[in-house]
Structure 1
Amino acid sequence: ILMSLRTLMREGMDKAAAIVEAVRLNFMPVSITSLTTIVGFASLNFSDSPPFWHLGNITAIGIAGAWVLSLTLLPALLAMMPVGFRVKRTSKFYKPAMERFADFVIARRKRLLVVVSVIALSLVAFIPTLQLNDEWVEYFSTDIEFRNDTDSAMAYFGMYPIEFSVGANGPGGVSEPLYLEKLDQFASWLRDQPQVTHVYAFSDIMKRLNKNLHGDDQGYYRIPDNRDLSAQYLLLYEISLPYGLDLNDRINVDKSATRVTATLTDADSIETKQFLSDAQAWLADNAPAYMHARPTSAGVMFTYIAERNVINMVGGTIAAVLAISVILAFALRSVSLGLLSLVPNGLPIMATFGAWAILVGEVGFSVATVASISLGIVVDDTVHFLSKYVRARSERKLSAEDSIRYAFKSVGTAIVTNTVILAVGFAVLMFSDFKVNADMGLLTSLAIVFALVLDFLLLPALLLWRSGEDEVAVAAPKATLAPVFNK
């Protein structure tokens, strides 16, 4: 609205009329961009993480409020405040930068269509190489004391406990020698794994009791020979514990299952997933069916949370893209433009992840929501450009080439300004000591910049291809073009 007001007043229109005309020209695109941005942020509700629900919903409410204020309070303030722009002096020897850029794009539209498409699709081709990987300790910068203390503790003790509830063959079954032997073998296998720093299993207690009750003879550091003896050892151990202590943290009430704890050291989510898979495979291959167990713990939850979020957010982003395309098709009264908008709206995000695959190679919980956040922002540039293009075609009856010139002249500077502001704003997050914020800021900034490139280089070429106008004269605009712009 401000850029339109500036343009109109520099062309000689008085302030009051320029405010009315600026609001009229931008009412539809501002409304559409607000709605589509709300849809983009609302898609964060597909996430498994409640904080992202709140982020999306609160931001959507804020966008709705900004839409109301932009169309009511802003014009009123502009009318009350002293606003003035010098009337632009026209010269047949000088052409504004955006008009010159429009001529450049139109003249080379076929080459740009091929080159930009190939580069963007080449980046997209790297997306399958991305790996879902996370390590929650590395969310924090080494400048934070907590991170340094955690790294020190990790080296000696490990920080990722994994719990297994290993079932026995019925109540009291934890005293069976076969069960204890298999449990001890499982504990030994766990200790042999490179990521494991400590294992605590009920079989260790029984072996130690057997040794203690045989005069600490090391030869008896083994599983008792029969169930009754094991049960007597267990009873003796329970009644000898100090007041207030019991074995309920290791054995369930009816003694039909025991808990095995394996503590992992510095392991990322890929290594943790492999460890969990190997542990379950060992139980499946070497233990009775009743001993098969699924690993649990906060570490297991964090191992899979990024994957679940990414899968859910892919569905949410697809739904948002389709909803935005439908909105644009209705608003622009063109199904083909609604479908065409899929390219400049979706391709920047995919190209961003392709570039991330080349630069980093891994994504985690921090980038699960980038697509939805970016989509709600990058669609704004497309909407403003297409709305001005459609207005030039329908109201001013301009050709496709001149309509593109009109779009660049009307909103080109505003789109660049908006992109710079948003990209720099999100780039500030890169300085955060919290990796989730830093990665999100960098990826969103990249997506915003890619969106500008595609909107300025690829979208005009697609519009000209859609129009079917192959002959382009770029040496100079048509003689009637400048007067039409100044109306």
Structure 2
Amino acid sequence: MRVDPPRVRVFAFCHGSTVEARTGMAQRVEAFRGEVAAIGGAVRAAGHPLLNLEMDHASRDIERTSLPLLVGVCVGLLLLSTRSVRLTIAALLPVGLGVLATEGLLTLVGRSTDIIVNIAKPLLFVVLLASALHIVVAFQDARRDGRSPGEAAEEAAREKGRACLFALCTTALGFASLAFSDMRPVRTFGLLTAAGLTLGVPLVLAVLPMVLRFIGGPARVEGGQLLGRVAAALVGHGLNQRWRYPALAAALIAGGAVALWALPVSPGGVHYFGPDMRVRAEHEAIAASGLGLSSVEMVLTAPSPEVMPEALDAIDAFARAAEALPGARKAMGAPLLLREATSRVTGTDGLPPIAERAAALADPALRGFVSGGSLRLSLLIDHLDAKALDRLHAALRARFEQTLGRRGFALELTGHHALLVGAQAALVDTLLWSLLSTALLIELLVVLALRSVRRALAVALPTLVPVFLNFILMWLLGVPLDLGTSMTGAIAIGIAVDDALHFTIAWGRESPLQTARGTGRALVMTSVVICAGFLSLLPAPFTPTAHFGLLCAAAMVSALAADLLVLPPLLARLAPR
């Protein structure tokens, strides 16, 4: 306990990293808050257990609120666009089965859900829905031409099956490349999304046509032609402009690359929450008051537990020397607490006699600092950047080797601040690696899918537009790189290549006008439905969820614009019919 009238600082340690342990600690904090309020005081609480507990709540909020809202918005727009309850049910059935199968797979392998896993669910839903809608639109067109439900389902599967297969497989392999990330949540996200898309392939390509054959749909489809006319107008405009839109796309990519390097990095923590939330407000108030919230955790391990009492003087000297280093504030641990206890009893500043130290170190009150032959020191520090933290670590190791290291002690430096600073570099590495690996892998698969290097090169430019346009948007809005936004590059490529493959495959067998009115209409419909679904995530109180929805919606819009304005002139020049 540190007393600084009229403020008293209390340190509490959470034993365990489970949700139950964090919940129990939060309940004790609330009880303590009530006790202090009863005597006219106030309590501000901050720390990683409380932040992690709020993230647990945010994870449940995605599953209970954000995902149902996204699904509800998509269902409503599906009903408006298809004007058929039966077709809406047919499209949603394989998509829902795919998401449920993925969740079942997660349970089967014994992995628990967290916020990253729960973010993967809405992404799976919209990507599978996009492929399902292409088949539904083709089914509608066949029914309008007089085909029976069975004939229309067979024709839709034949026309769109290859494009859906390659689009889903390409996107799945792109996400699977995230498995090589240094960050475990990103690896889990990539593998889970890839597995979900793989499970969705037979559901969309086999189950959906069977459902359409069984439940049918209106023989005469009214409406929908407006979307086809809009797509045809945009494609025609892009062809007339020749190289202007491809040049604009290249300029946007260059601008996005510059914006990427200017983005701030936020590896996580308090800024994930809105400024009006108590967990953030109290954290910032404590930090602003001059009471540091960052620390370096030092674990000192003795050659044997028996030497710990005798070495306590050297440990105390090391702790005091650590406090004098630049960026350090106070070393909390058994030496400080024992000195304060001695001061209260004897009035002198010193440690208890050696004969009494073994019993003092075994006191249950010190169990957060002493365990057998190991002793923990929590060095409160300023909020240091990576270079300053490295210098502090080096100075601590040097002081340790000069004193305790010679006596056979071992030192381990860790702590949440060190992990977060390390995560900053890992986030940038993850983003660059995911972009490079996903782009190269997808481009290779596009070559195999289209059987043409020229067409694959034409697809490359519009596929990159949503990625780098999102970087510009993040820079303009002040959205930092964090655990969620670092993955949006791979997500944007996955969204863009899905649409581009559908358009390019249709371009190879149809006239530009037919491609625009058929596949282009489907692209507009899927983009509107899915974009609205992603935008429904904006009100989420957890900032990464809102940013995820905004950036994915922006990727949908920019991918549609690139496919209708940039891709046609590139196909016309690089791969003429």
1:425 has 2:533 as partner: yes
The correspondence of residues 324-473 of structure 1 with structure 2, limited to 5 A, is 324-360=442-478, 362-392=480-510, 403-467=511-575
Q: 1:27 aligns with which of 139, 144, 161?
A: 161
Shift in Å, 1:24? 1.4
Q: Find out whether 1:38 has 2:38 as its counterpart.
A: no
Q: Distance in 1 between matches of 2:276 and 2:185?
A: 25
Q: Which residue identity is paired with 1:459? A: L
Cα shift readout 1:298-351 (whole Å, capped 9, x = no counterpart): 332233235325424533443333222222212211123234433222342133
Change in CA separation of 1:448 and 1:248 when aligned onto 2, cut-off 3 Å: same
Q: 1:127 to 1:148 in 2, by over 3 A?
A: closer
In structure 2, relative to structure 1, the CA distance for the partners of 1:78 and 1:238 (3 Å cut) is same
Residue in 2 aligned with 1:280?
Answer: 393
Deviations 1:405-461 (A, max 9, x none): 332222111111111222222222222122232222222222222222222222222
Partners in 2 of 1:410 and 1:420 — Cα distance? 16
Q: Deviations over 1:224-268 (max 9, x none)?
A: xxxxxx8xx5514415638744878657866xx864312357x4x
Match of 2:219 in 1: 84
CA distance in 2, matches of 1:61, 1:286: 50
State the alpha-carbon separation in 1 of the partners of residues 272 and 360 from structure 2.
41
Look up the match of 1:188. Answer: 324
SS in structure 1 at match of 2:484: helix
SS in 2 for 1:429: coil
Question: Residue type matched to 2:296 in 1?
Answer: I
Whole-Å separation in 2 of the counterparts to 1:389 and 1:199: 68
Task: After superposition, give the CA deviation of every residue in 1:84-114 in whole Å (9 maximum; x if it has no partner).
Answer: 22599x9xxxx93333322211111222222
Q: 2:157 touches 2:205 (CA, 8 Å); kept in 1?
A: yes
1:453–1:294 Cα change, 3 Å? farther
Structure 1 residue 199 and structure 2 residue 334: aligned? Answer: no
Whether 1:73 aligns to 2:207 is yes
Q: How does 1:85-164 map to 2 (within 5 A)?
A: 85=220, 96-142=229-275, 144-148=277-281, 150-151=283-284, 158-164=292-298
More helix, by proportion: 2
TM-score w.r.t. the length of structure 1 is 0.74
1:118 CA displacement: 1.6
Q: Indicate if the aligned counterparts of 1:310 and 1:369 stay in contact, CA closer than 8 A.
A: no
User: In structure 1, how many angstroms separate the alpha carbons of the residues matched to 2:205 and 2:190?
Assistant: 23
Q: Look up the equivalent residue of 1:451 and give its one-letter code.
A: A
Question: What value does the CA root-mean-square deviation take over the aligned residues?
Answer: 3.9
Inter-partner Cα distance in structure 1 for 2:455 and 2:402: 59
More displaced stretch, 65-74 vs 414-423: 65-74
Q: For 1:208 and 1:87, how far apart are their aligned partners in 2?
A: 83
Contact between 1:127 and 1:353, CA under 8 Å: does it hold in 2? yes
What is the CA–CA distance in structure 1 between the aligned matches of 2:573 and 2:206, rounded to whole Å? 38
Q: Which residue of 2 aligns with 1:476?
A: none
3-state SS in 1 of match to 2:219: coil
C-alpha distance 67-83 of structure 1, shift in aligned 2 (>3 A): farther
Verify the 8 A CA contact 2:272 2:542 in the aligned structure 1: yes
- Matching of residues 52-63 of structure 1 within 5 Å: 52-63=186-197
Identify the residue that residue 261 of structure 1 maps to in structure 2: 378
Question: Which segment drifts farther, 404-413 or 338-347?
Answer: 338-347
C-alpha separation in 1, matches of 2:361 and 2:136:
76
Q: Percent identity?
A: 21
Label 1:295 to 1:234 Cα distance change in 2 as closer, same or farther (>3 A).
farther
Structure 2 counterpart of 1:399: none
The Cα shift of 1:359 comes to 2.5
Cα 1:258–1:82, aligned 2, differ >3 Å: closer, same or farther? closer
Worse overlay, 459-468 or 407-416: 459-468
SS in 1 for 2:378: strand
Deviations 1:179-214 (A, max 9, x none): 765542321336x65xx5x4325664687699789x
Does the CA contact (< 8 Å) of 1:47 and 1:313 recur in 2?
no
Kindly state the Cα deviation for residue 352 of structure 1 after the two structures are TM-superposed.
Answer: 1.2
Greater RCO (CA < 8 Å, at least 6 residues apart): 1
Checking the alignment, whether the CA contact within 8 Å between 2:333 and 2:376 is kept in structure 1 is yes
In structure 2, relative to structure 1, the CA distance for the partners of 1:374 and 1:290 (3 Å cut) is: farther
Greater Rg over alpha carbons, structure: 1
For 1:242 and 1:105, locate their aligned partners in 2 and report how far apart those are by CA, in whole Å. 77
Answer yes or no: is the 8 Å Cα contact 2:463–2:496 preserved in 1. Answer: yes
Q: Secondary structure at the match of 1:189?
A: coil
Q: Which residue of 2 aligns with 1:226?
A: none
Q: Matches of 2:200 and 2:343 in 1, distance apart?
A: 74
**How far does residue 387 in structure 1 lie from its aligned partner after superposition?**
0.5
Whichever residue aligns with residue 117 of structure 1, its letter is: A
- For the 8 Å contact 1:38–1:64, the answer to whether it is kept is yes
Structure 1 letter corresponding to 2:247 = V
Kept after mapping to 2: 8 A contact 1:10/1:85 = yes
2:274 partner SS:
coil
